[in-house]
Structure 1
Amino acid sequence: MRELEKIKAERAAQRAADDAAKAARDQEQREVDIARGNPLLNATDFNVKRRWDDDVIFRNQARGTEDKRKKEFVNDLLRSDFHRRFMSKYVR
């Protein structure tokens, strides 16, 4: 009986050691899979293939703003740019 108990204990110890080794291998494989699954860590070329705004709807909204009239000095107070803007904003 002692011999049988000794054999059972040896087998249980061997099984526990095998399970621990298998768990360690599985953990290492899991970490490798996680690291390889992350495209940010695997990317060797960091070139941007498209611009960030290629797929937006409202592009080139600032077109047409370049042809505004330049401010010019007029000695007449009624024809000055400030007076025209003031009148169009508050009076009309």
Structure 2
Amino acid sequence: MTNQAFDYVEKRDYIRMPINATAKVHRRNIPDVVCLCRNLSAAGMLLEIDRELPIHSRLTVTLPSQTEGFSSLVASVIVTRCVDYHGDRYLIGARIDEIMN
């Protein structure tokens, strides 16, 4: 291992947890879309989706609970980036603005 590995400083305030869970995205006046939430942190999430979404658009994302007795996560998010991923898929970086449940 080189010294460069020890010199790395994490720039994020929160770690990202890979979850690869099915999520539902709702945007005003557009039908809901099922997508994949690839990772989640206290400040944001990374979504894989089949359409491009405008930067700064507001979405409601629902991550259904997999455990009886626990509520689904419902959050208002703002799109911070949209990257083409394999032609027919997009990676959406989203900042969590509000937890709604």
TM beyond 0.5: no
Highest relative contact order (Cα 8 Å, sep 6+), 1 or 2? 2
TM-score (norm 1): 0.20
More helix by share: 1
More strand by share: 2
TM-score (norm 2): 0.19
